[in-house]
Structure 1
Amino acid sequence: MKQQTFPKNTWYVAAMAEEVVGSKPLGRKICGENIAFYRTADNQIAAILDFCPHRGAALSLGYVEDGLLVCGYHGLKMGADGKTQAMPLQRVKGFPCMKSYAVEERYGFIWVWPGDQSKADKSLIPHLEWAVNPEWAYGGGLYHIHCDYRLMIDNLMDLTHETYVHASSIGQKEIDESPVSTEVNGDKVITSRFMENIMPPPFWQAALRGNGLADDVPVDRWQICRFSPPSHVMIDVGVAHAGHGGYQADAKYKASSTVVDFITPETETSIWYFWGMARHFKPEDQALTDSIREGQGKIFAEDLEVLERQQENLLAFPDYDLLKLDIDAGGVQSRRIIERIIAEEITQQAVEVSEKPLQVITF
């Protein structure tokens, strides 16, 4: 049996809301599940298995008509509940029901629960204050990356690599010269790094200017990475003019943001990476939002080749025992939480199977 490598009874970001519009469905693989997303007649989001029960065609290659998903192969019409509703000149009442998925549109994203739909609880979707508070601005994007989703979590929970991978934008030698602290609080992991009285790198110089602050003076800088299952990482980052309290400084002395990272497994070795930055200063400045998004997009693009080549190496050397240093603690602790959640899911599945009544067949 194939080993389970990601939690499935949980909420993942499957798409940005603007990716599913009009009569065109979106096909996307999430946690190994081929899913067709589309909008019903009342513009609600729906998600069903991307598989036509007639000949196995991908339903996402079809179109939406009168709130039904029409297969682009022979015209079969599927409802949001996975039941076939109609097909030209055919009787469809006995067609098997396809799997449907719990799905929710919230905060500008489409969230999906790839596991047991009966266990889906919408209250478990994390609250995103920056998405509903007008004092914040957000800009982001999406990358498809060929790597294990846990490699991206490792990358984000240890920002030491910034000195080397992002040397021209956010990297500086003071990052890997500053100690990192890691703490675990239930299912959450937090890694923190604070740097005092340093010069800001190019990206943060631009952010200071964008907030009307001097960019050529020493600053205090912080990086606080927060992992939460199944694979979300939010990072509080920023700089403040030195001597004014650093992370706790008054807003008039600093430029700070939250780096948003939703990492959604596609397969064991590929991900959908939804990235962005939520800014708590000058939210009305759309030009600044666009500029930050462009700069951040280039920064994250620098990680792509590193992660994909890393994945290739790990597949080529599956028995190599990777070294673990103190800077890796955030990723290691995050993986332990993921492993525990997967183990709990597997145990629960076994219990549910054992509790099913035996079917008695008489002859």
Structure 2
Amino acid sequence: MRADLAPAGAQLWPKDSWYVACTSAEVTDQALGRTICNERMVFFRGKDGTVCALEDFCPHRGAPLSLGFVRGGQLVCGYHGLVTDCHGKVASMPGQRVGGFPKTRHFPTIERYGFIWVWPGRADASNPAALHHLEWAESADWAYGGGYYHIACDYRLMVDNLMDLTHETYVHASSIGQKEIDEAPVKTHATDREVVTSRFMDAVSAPPFWQMALRGAGLPEDAPVDRWQICRFTLPSHVMIEVGVALQGRGGYEADDALKASAIVVDFITPETETSHHYFWGMARRFATEDEMLTDTIREGQGRIFAEDLDMLEQQQANLTRYPDRRLLKLNIDAGGVRSRMMIERAIAAEITPI
């Protein structure tokens, strides 16, 4: 059986984990329906503004609760008016006594860093302390801009994509790709907490995206630079990529902030189904942090870059679905993705057969 396939009904993602479900801005005064890890959920704000997540299923006739509306911090089913509170308890229904109605499943949530995080696994196992700390999201020393794509492919294909950046030379030739990416050696190592792949390129020309970043940082865009890419995978499916360029010979990755344009490419990859996922992308940077126009320019540039990935990954998924028995090659450049998948598989196994 091919490594990216699993028996029908097999668990493909860790469930006892925090996933980005949506941005805070997406949950306003309306209900939001979204599928996370094959669980259909509805998100809405309770009376105190806290974001609640319930199974998107009305206990009366099975209608999606996301087709209803929010009234006074409670969710009203759009079919027959059944009212549910933030904890899934039926509060009322026109002409009915609701004391014996079953509760709707409730999913733990956290609102932090501008995102709504949801725990699709065992509610009693949820641990707010397990949520990743994101320094860039809390510090005035950083600026952030990002976006969202829905992508019709297995979420693990996106992990593979981000942990092996050699594809940039070909998929992103007009923006961030350059031949030196192929030529520079890549190193991979893993700990219990993360998988890291890194590549350093000295004395190279900055590609178009990084020329723009150098201008934004007040540095000469045509100067030779030292460039780096450090990809960090952490469970359940997040990838943070330290990227940047520094004026050649001035310290590279360790260079003073005044001599480089550096950033973290933020990738939150949330499984939807076996062949689709939610992709929350962005860039946190430490240069020209007050320049909102630069934030918009970078966001637009990233959006175009990730749209190229989207097209490639969706067509890759279509091919893999069309030829399920084809064996795939594993090369040295695939080490980061392979090690990341191994970490995912260990996490799933621990949930299925806990110690």
TM-score between the two structures when normalised by the length of structure 1: 0.95
**Alignment-mate amino acid for residue 205 of structure 1:** Q
**Alignment-mate amino acid for residue 264 of structure 1:** T
Shift, 1:149, TM fit: 0.4
Q: Does 1:167 align with 2:173?
A: yes
Alignment gaps of 5+ in structure 1 = 352-363
Q: Secondary structure at the match of 1:126?
A: coil
**Alignment-mate amino acid for residue 170 of structure 2:** Y
CA distance in 1, matches of 2:227, 2:55: 46
Give 2:39's aligned residue: 33
Give 1:78's aligned residue: 84
CA distance in 1, matches of 2:47, 2:290: 34
Counterpart pick for 2:24 among 17, 20, 33: 17
Give 1:241's aligned residue: 247
Q: Does 1:299 align with 2:278?
A: no
Matches within 5 A, 1:302-317: 302-317=308-323
Give 1:290's aligned residue: 296
**Alignment-mate amino acid for residue 128 of structure 1:** L
Task: Give the number of aligned pairs.
Answer: 348
**Alignment-mate amino acid for residue 8 of structure 1:** K
Give 2:336's aligned residue: 330
Matches within 5 A, 1:222-233: 222-233=228-239
Give 2:119's aligned residue: 113
Shift, 1:318, TM fit: 1.4
Shift, 1:334, TM fit: 0.2
CA distance in 2, matches of 1:319, 1:186: 32
**Alignment-mate amino acid for residue 52 of structure 1:** C
Give 2:74's aligned residue: 68
Q: Does 1:91 align with 2:93?
A: no
CA distance in 1, matches of 2:148, 2:242: 20
Counterpart pick for 2:158 among 149, 152, 162: 152
Q: Secondary structure at the match of 1:75?
A: coil
Q: Secondary structure at the match of 2:296?
A: helix
CA distance in 2, matches of 1:325, 1:244: 34
**Alignment-mate amino acid for residue 234 of structure 1:** M
Counterpart pick for 2:268 among 238, 262, 266: 262
Shift, 1:187, TM fit: 2.8
CA distance in 2, matches of 1:284, 1:43: 30
Q: Secondary structure at the match of 2:353?
A: helix
CA distance in 1, matches of 2:128, 2:63: 31
**Alignment-mate amino acid for residue 12 of structure 1:** Y
Shift, 1:198, TM fit: 0.4
| CA distances 1:30-83 after superposition (whole Å, capped 9, x unpaired) | 000000000011111100000001111111111111111000111100011111
Shift, 1:266, TM fit: 0.2
| CA distances 1:107-136 after superposition (whole Å, capped 9, x unpaired) | 000000001000000001100000000010
Q: Secondary structure at the match of 2:241?
A: strand
Give 2:350's aligned residue: 344
Give 2:4's aligned residue: none
**Alignment-mate amino acid for residue 9 of structure 2:** K
Q: Does 1:125 align with 2:134?
A: no
CA distance in 2, matches of 1:284, 1:200: 23
CA RMSD across the alignment: 0.8
Counterpart pick for 1:190 among 196, 202, 205: 196
CA distance in 1, matches of 2:192, 2:49: 38
| CA distances 1:289-335 after superposition (whole Å, capped 9, x unpaired) | 01100100100000111101111111112122210111000000000
The share of aligned pairs that are identical, in percent, is 64
When structure 1 is superposed on structure 2, of 190-199 and 304-313 the one drifting more is 304-313
| CA distances 1:246-284 after superposition (whole Å, capped 9, x unpaired) | 100111110000000000000010000000000111211
Moved over 4 A (4+): none
Give 1:357's aligned residue: none
CA distance in 1, matches of 2:227, 2:193: 27
CA distance in 2, matches of 1:61, 1:286: 36
**Alignment-mate amino acid for residue 298 of structure 2:** I
| CA distances 1:201-241 after superposition (whole Å, capped 9, x unpaired) | 00000000001000111100000000000000000000001
CA distance in 2, matches of 1:279, 1:289: 9
Give 1:202's aligned residue: 208
